[in-house]
Structure 1
Amino acid sequence: MKPYLFFLFPVFLLAGAGKPARDLYVLSREYTVTIAGTSNLRDWKENVCAVSGFMEAEGNADGSIALHSIRICMDVLSIKSDMGRVMDNKTYEALKAADHPEILFTLSAPMILTQVRNCGIAIPVKGNLSLAGVCKPVTMLVKTIEISQGKLQFEGYENLRMTDFGVRPPSALFGTLRASPDITIHFKTNFINNLFQTT
């Protein structure tokens, strides 16, 4: 068992006492998370290179999946811009990385995922997003597909305004380049049932 799963195991064991069996899914390394925006000079994009997460889910007899919880954590200092290191540092400063090194998404309420086999459908997913020390509710349109046994794929995006989270849009080149406050976070992630994990 992987070290971080060892510490999580007692939590899920206690939480599941007296409840239907739930499976633990862990975010695999097959993911893409990007942050895109525009500026007064040109469009820009950043890749989030370090993302971790897990979720609790259980399969139902009708083929649907009951999603009980989900937690996705993005490392702010792993964000890399297509505009180079100067913009990277401006991003870290804007997101207050020294005090809030992570961007966190959690599911706000359990939900049922239907039609996930072979071809998924986009459904609204409600959760809480914590960014730069501010937590706000968000609703994302997410497509869910069971791409193989024990492997679920989530793909979607969310449009955000940085100023809603108290984030001042970064600027560079002595103010010559000024980013717009509007950004889009796009993600494509795969979660694998811990029973199917390989060491």
Structure 2
Amino acid sequence: MIRQSILLFLTTLLLAGTVSAQSKFSTKSFQLTINGTSNVHDWSSKATNVVVTGDFGLNSTSLEKINAASVKVKTTSLKSTKESDLMDGRTHSTLKADKYPEITYVFTKVLSVQQSGAETIMNITGNLTLGGVTKPTDLTLRIKTLPGGDLEVKGTRKILMSNHGIKPPSFMLGAMKVGDEVTLTYDVILKKA
């Protein structure tokens, strides 16, 4: 009887471990783009220094929960896709890069989770710090488990710079004015840390 109880207990532990395992992940590769508009032409910048870390609850096929996660983007790593040093300088100045060298997002809570085929769609909230101002910000994450165990996390989010106390820049003595709304697009591959 005691032997059967021990076997049952050990079997339960093993099954629990395969159903939901805790795993730490970090950045393997990333694409993070900020797209905006102006009264003259659209513009785009890409981040070249992004660090993502996460502690996730996984089952055998997908992400079940997020225990902790954060994103850090070096502000001066934002580079114009048109290779414009003038645009880069204005972007870094607008985001107060000298005083606030990082843009950060820190996860706080999962709002909802749903499965769509092989993809997990997770709505989360967290704190986005941009130019030294922190605001709660919701994100929709589209997450896939890739062959080999890596995770792909994709999504887009529109952000108003003015919500973070940032005045959209103007150029050429005010002749070119940048729009307040920007669109953040991200596609990150995470590997087990």
**TM-score, structure 2 normalization:** 0.81
Aligned residue in 1 for 2:64: 65
Aligned residue in 2 for 1:167: 166
Going from structure 1 to structure 2, the CA distance change for 1:88 and 1:61 (only over 3 Å counts) comes to closer
Whether the aligned pair in 1 keeps the contact of 2:38 and 2:178 (CA below 8 Å) is yes
Separation in structure 2 between the aligned mates of residue 183 and residue 82 of structure 1, nearest angstrom: 15
Whether the aligned pair in 2 keeps the contact of 1:122 and 1:144 (CA below 8 Å) is yes
**2:41 counterpart letter in structure 1:** R
**2:33 counterpart letter in structure 1:** T
Whether the aligned pair in 2 keeps the contact of 1:57 and 1:66 (CA below 8 Å) is yes
Task: Show CA shifts across 1:9-57 (max 9, x none).
Answer: xxxxxxxxxxx963210111x2100000100001111111110121001
Going from structure 1 to structure 2, the CA distance change for 1:152 and 1:93 (only over 3 Å counts) comes to same
1:113-132 mapped onto 2 (5 Å cutoff)? 115=115, 119-132=118-131
Q: How far is the alpha carbon of 1:112 from its aligned partner? A: 7.7
Task: Show CA shifts across 1:129-151 (max 9, x none).
Answer: 01000111111122111012421
Using the TM superposition, name which of 45-54 and 144-153 deviates more. Answer: 144-153
Separation in structure 2 between the aligned mates of residue 112 and residue 60 of structure 1, nearest angstrom: 17
SS in 1 for 2:96: coil
Separation in structure 1 between the aligned mates of residue 21 and residue 120 of structure 2, nearest angstrom: 26
Aligned residue in 2 for 1:43: 42
CA RMSD of aligned residues (A): 2.2
**2:30 counterpart letter in structure 1:** Y
SS in 1 for 2:143: strand
Whether the aligned pair in 1 keeps the contact of 2:114 and 2:121 (CA below 8 Å) is no
Question: Of Structure 1 and Structure 2, which has the larger fraction of its residues in strand?
Answer: 2
Separation in structure 1 between the aligned mates of residue 184 and residue 148 of structure 2, nearest angstrom: 28
Q: How far is the alpha carbon of 1:115 from its aligned partner? A: 3.6
Going from structure 1 to structure 2, the CA distance change for 1:111 and 1:181 (only over 3 Å counts) comes to closer
1:85-96 mapped onto 2 (5 Å cutoff)? 85-96=85-96
Whether the aligned pair in 1 keeps the contact of 2:134 and 2:164 (CA below 8 Å) is yes
Separation in structure 2 between the aligned mates of residue 91 and residue 120 of structure 1, nearest angstrom: 34
Aligned residue in 2 for 1:54: 53
**TM-score, structure 1 normalization:** 0.79
Contiguous gaps of at least 5 residues in structure 1: 1-19, 195-199
Aligned residue in 1 for 2:12: none
Separation in structure 2 between the aligned mates of residue 63 and residue 39 of structure 1, nearest angstrom: 40
Going from structure 1 to structure 2, the CA distance change for 1:62 and 1:148 (only over 3 Å counts) comes to closer
Contiguous gaps of at least 5 residues in structure 2: 1-19
Report the number of matched residues: 173
Whether the aligned pair in 2 keeps the contact of 1:64 and 1:115 (CA below 8 Å) is no
Whether the aligned pair in 2 keeps the contact of 1:86 and 1:172 (CA below 8 Å) is no
1:1-199 mapped onto 2 (5 Å cutoff)? 22-28=22-28, 30-60=29-59, 64-83=63-82, 84-109=84-109, 115=115, 119-194=118-193
